[in-house]
Structure 1
Amino acid sequence: MAEIVELSEADQQRKDLILRNLQESLGVDKLTKQLSTGKNIHVYWGTATTGKPHVGYMVPMQKIADFLNAGIKVTILFADVHAFLDNLKSTFEMLEYRVEYYQRVIKALLSSLDVPIEKLSFQLGSSYQLSEAYTQDVLKLCGHISQRDALRAGAEVVKQVDSPLLSGLLYPLLQAIDEQYLKADGQFGGVDQRKIFILAEEQLPKIKLGKRWHLMNPMVPGLTGGKMSSSEIDSKIDLLDKPNVVSMKIDNSVCVRGNPEENGVLQFFRFVVFPIISPRIIDIKGQSYSNYDEIVESFEEKESISAEALKEFLKAFLIGILTKVQDKCENEELRNIMNHAYSSPPELDTSELSEGFQTVLELKDMGGDRMKEIKGDCELITSAKLYQKLNTDEPLKVLWRVSAKGKVNLGHLGGLLQLKRLQALKCECSILISDIGGFLDNGKCPWNALEARAKYYEEALKQFMKAISLENVPIRHSRENQYERDYTLEMYKMASKVTKDASAIVEGNTLATHLCPLYHALDVHFADVDLLITGEEQRPFVILGQQLCQGIGLPSQAALLFPKIPGMNGERMSSSNTEQHLDPLDTVKQINKKIGSSFCEPKNVKDNVALDLARLIIFPLHEGKEVVIKRDEKYGGNVSFSDYAALEASFAEEIIHPSDLKPFVTEQINALLEPIRTALTPQSKMITAAFPKVAKKK
């Protein structure tokens, strides 16, 4: 049961002032307790700097006056990053001007309504919303919130379509987290933001950011019905609209009897006129009115007042206030700011297509030869940047990106062997370990284990490289770049260009899974390389990555897709499927058992796990040297093969049997893994930190 809190008469008056003229309040008990303790209470109201402020802003401004008169601190947030998420309708340079425009016009409105602006504080969203700590909290919250909940939270404030942009799903999360970074006790906004407030109350405690109270003012209907919107010109009256424009819009507005709730003019009296003039009365054609109900009765029931009379009064009332606002804004400096703020954003160059891209560049003979060597037996997805580099004498810069999910296993040799091959072709190779990639993929790496997991991956990969004699390949970590301001800004740009459906590459329920392809593309971009190598199963990431880069004006990325190394079930060897992958920490007996149980049918070379391991690992490691399969003399003795094709042919002709092949593959794999096992086994503390026990949920 809620604690009963007694308030002094003065505090009760403060509470009544804070709560008056609201449509709904959440968490009032918490507010009441704060009033009783004498806490310096802080509330914030935010506005995304998109369209131009309109007369609907008079409603929250009146409430801000109430808050100030009640002695609580008020911050007005100019949410420029939120505006940026609105489908990239403006550049960040334009938003700087819009913030300045909003600040000047809203200050002018507050002054015209006699609100003491010296007691207000103003905050710019991008001053903290692109910081490392804030971005981390956004990602953590993405890991807790389902796509459905995020979509539902923004239903009233984000345009609803069949497949919404990913930015529209992120929008409510940022607004919720703002409460923490503004150090607010509560948030104030329109009733259209109720679902965002509910999300904040339910979800912020899950990432230890606390629960706050929320106050909601009613929404001023548009002149043409529905909500007044900054983006719908005919539904609103801008604060800088001239008297003739105000008169024209009101003359054309809806004002018919029968449905007061849909009557735009009547609703103006309800939400704007009376809250501003109260407790004074108004006079219309010789009749006095002290509240909205009297106006409705006179218009709807008695029909003693006409629509024209209501409109004439409303025109005079609004023009009177707006004239004061405009007197404070009529200057050349503000006109210049407005011209910059609402100019057309530059068009992006989309001349380079993503999938099926056909370059018009001509490759020199040298470039063509290099292309064949680089490609090898893999699939190559090209880009203009790669073609240009191949036509030079400069070495290619190659990156292998690894997400720190489950255990490092034999499947990771696929990337390392490609690096070794490309290094022999004079490429400059490097590895990037993505810790956030493991978290975003359904929490396969818990947040509290990100650093330890990345450290384990680095050590395990170093031991694998040592075992295959791969040297001079630096290993970097994604956290070196992924929380920088520019990186996060590009992430939000991509989110504003990709739909929920298009970003649904990783199966899962949380919003975090939709960020996987974005961080994949940005890791490659900020690594500044010519070629990404990755597994063939990552093809959707590569294609979407090219489209994302194209969409925000970044160069497309080339990728080399190498074949999958199969697990013991024949599917791709997965870090998270411990029963089917070959872990260097598996014992010799476990390796024997796993390979022994794999599919290896006599004469059948298709989906044959042992043959695939020989083709993809054993023969590449022998680098052209003969491979010997040991057999008893009574079965024909040892057999040597100079290449994989000869082994496959012998198996298909049943010269080599599964009983020959499996022991050979098992011996080779155990010999490869033994030094890695020896190096990693003593590092139990590192591995325990990388894979902490997960507490069971109640």
Structure 2
Amino acid sequence: MDIDTAIENISRNTVEIIEIDELKELLKKDEKVAYVGFEPSGKIHLGHALTIKRMKALQDAGFKIKIFIANLHAYLNGKGTLEELNETAAYNIECFKALGLSEETTEFIYGSDRMTPEYIVNVFHASTLTTIQRAQRSMAQISRGDAHNVAEALYPIMQVMDIHDLKANVAVGGMEQRKIHMLAREVLPKLGLEAPVCIHIPLIHGTDGSDKMSSSKGNFIAIDDSPKDIKNKINKSFCPTGVIEDNPVLELAHYYIYDENETMLIERPEKFGGNLELTEEELLDIYAKEELHPMDLKNTVSKYLIDILAPAREYMENL
């Protein structure tokens, strides 16, 4: 795969890449590593799956993929006991495999297994270069609750050193990770270490219209949801007539249907106008003009998502 094609594939449906020229140089190397970290946190949903799509694109471009299961970080973030988190982590790993990241091509790493003396010393060293205020700002979109404690300041510094410890050239994450990634690009060179290229993925709106799809909020489509559950969740989704901006149903069509298809077929009875085969531009146009009923849109998106998630659902059912 040539560099321009690789860049096009990797950058699809991303918010930003910092910096694109650095990524181009990495693509010339024989050995390169891309990593993403996930806290074990219940169901793996379409928000996570959007990130996995980019990891697969990086894999296709020759990167070794490392999925960091941040169980210790989740513990510091008040997500549960280590025993509970490890149980969730095992399920999460199977979900990632269901999305196409096999053990043959992907390394799955538990954070609690990386607590070597060298790592701890590096965390201490990095902490001398980071103010408490900067660490807390880095956690603004990640921390659980309003109480500020030492763990909250330690978390981003650990994540910075995870990047070095995993020998990652590229760090991938949602936009909530941006401040931590920027901290890594600032602190690691001060330690004489390589700064990562950072790839940021958009946060998908929850089905309730809130800013983020989240397993804790219950506003998600899980990758192993049954067809009935997918249909019910989409039917209940926030989808105001004529509203384009921040519409989660249109967003799912953008990221999961139009990502793989030039057009989307909307099937409806002749008495309601008959079938429509629409490009994304055409869909947005007629929806904004209120020429398409939200239920016709919801029924179509449900049908496509049920088919798209069929392989993942079957993998999980056969465990």
TM-score greater than 0.5 by the shorter chain: yes
The answer for the alignment partner of 1:96 in structure 2 is 86
1:75 pairs with 2:66? yes
1:27 pairs with 2:19? yes
2:119 to 117, 134, 155: 134
Structure 1 residue identity aligned to 2:104: E
The answer for the alignment partner of 1:325 in structure 2 is 312
1:99-139 CA-partner distances (Å, limit 9, x unpaired): 211111221122xxxx67632222222221x2111111112
C-alpha separation in 2, matches of 1:77 and 1:58: 15
- Displacement of 1:91 in angstroms is 2.0
Q: Secondary structure at the match of 1:118?
A: coil
The answer for the alignment partner of 1:85 in structure 2 is 76
Q: Secondary structure at the match of 2:69?
A: strand
Does the 8 A contact of 2:77 with 2:144 survive in 1?
no
- Displacement of 1:261 in angstroms is 2.6
- Displacement of 1:149 in angstroms is 0.6
2:249 to 265, 272, 296: 265
1:171 pairs with 2:155? yes
1:230 pairs with 2:212? no
Does the 8 A contact of 2:257 with 2:264 survive in 1?
no
For structure 2, the residue ranges without an aligned partner over 5 or more in a row are 268-274
1:7-39 CA-partner distances (Å, limit 9, x unpaired): xx9222222222222111112222222234x34
Superposition pairs for residues 286-365 of structure 1, below 5 Å?
Answer: 286-291=275-280, 293-301=281-289, 303-330=290-317
Superposition pairs for residues 604-623 of structure 1, below 5 Å?
Answer: none
Does the 8 A contact of 1:48 with 1:79 survive in 2?
yes
* Count of residue correspondences: 311
1:48 pairs with 2:39? yes
The answer for the alignment partner of 1:65 in structure 2 is 56
Superposition pairs for residues 474-485 of structure 1, below 5 Å?
Answer: none
Identity of aligned residues (%): 29
Does the 8 A contact of 2:50 with 2:255 survive in 1?
yes
When Rg is computed on C-alpha atoms for both structures, the one with the higher figure is 1
C-alpha separation in 2, matches of 1:65 and 1:294: 29
Q: Secondary structure at the match of 1:46?
A: strand
C-alpha separation in 1, matches of 2:185 and 2:266: 45
The answer for the alignment partner of 1:628 in structure 2 is none
1:444-496 CA-partner distances (Å, limit 9, x unpaired): xxxxxxxxxxxxxxxxxxxxxxxxxxxxxxxxxxxxxxxxxxxxxxxxxxxxx
The answer for the alignment partner of 2:270 in structure 1 is none
1:507-554 CA-partner distances (Å, limit 9, x unpaired): xxxxxxxxxxxxxxxxxxxxxxxxxxxxxxxxxxxxxxxxxxxxxxxx
C-alpha separation in 1, matches of 2:131 and 2:102: 42
Does the 8 A contact of 1:191 with 1:216 survive in 2?
yes
1:147 pairs with 2:141? no
Structure 2 residue identity aligned to 1:318: L
2:264 to 268, 282, 298: 282
- Displacement of 1:253 in angstroms is 1.0
- Displacement of 1:80 in angstroms is 1.1
Does the 8 A contact of 2:34 with 2:55 survive in 1?
no
The answer for the alignment partner of 1:535 in structure 2 is none
- Displacement of 1:215 in angstroms is 0.6
CA 1:18/1:321 → structure 2, altered by over 3 Å: closer, same or farther? Answer: closer
CA 1:245/1:18 → structure 2, altered by over 3 Å: closer, same or farther? Answer: closer
CA 1:261/1:166 → structure 2, altered by over 3 Å: closer, same or farther? Answer: farther
CA 1:294/1:76 → structure 2, altered by over 3 Å: closer, same or farther? Answer: farther
Does the 8 A contact of 2:40 with 2:86 survive in 1?
no
The answer for the alignment partner of 1:211 in structure 2 is 195
Q: Secondary structure at the match of 1:202?
A: helix
CA 1:23/1:294 → structure 2, altered by over 3 Å: closer, same or farther? Answer: farther
Does the 8 A contact of 1:58 with 1:272 survive in 2?
no
Q: Secondary structure at the match of 2:309?
A: helix
Structure with bigger RCO (C-alpha 8 Å, 6+ apart): 2
TM-score (structure 1 length as normaliser): 0.43
2:108 to 94, 98, 122: 122
CA 1:14/1:322 → structure 2, altered by over 3 Å: closer, same or farther? Answer: closer
Quote the RMSD (CA, aligned, Å): 2.1
- Displacement of 1:304 in angstroms is 2.5
C-alpha separation in 2, matches of 1:72 and 1:255: 38
Structure 2 residue identity aligned to 1:284: I
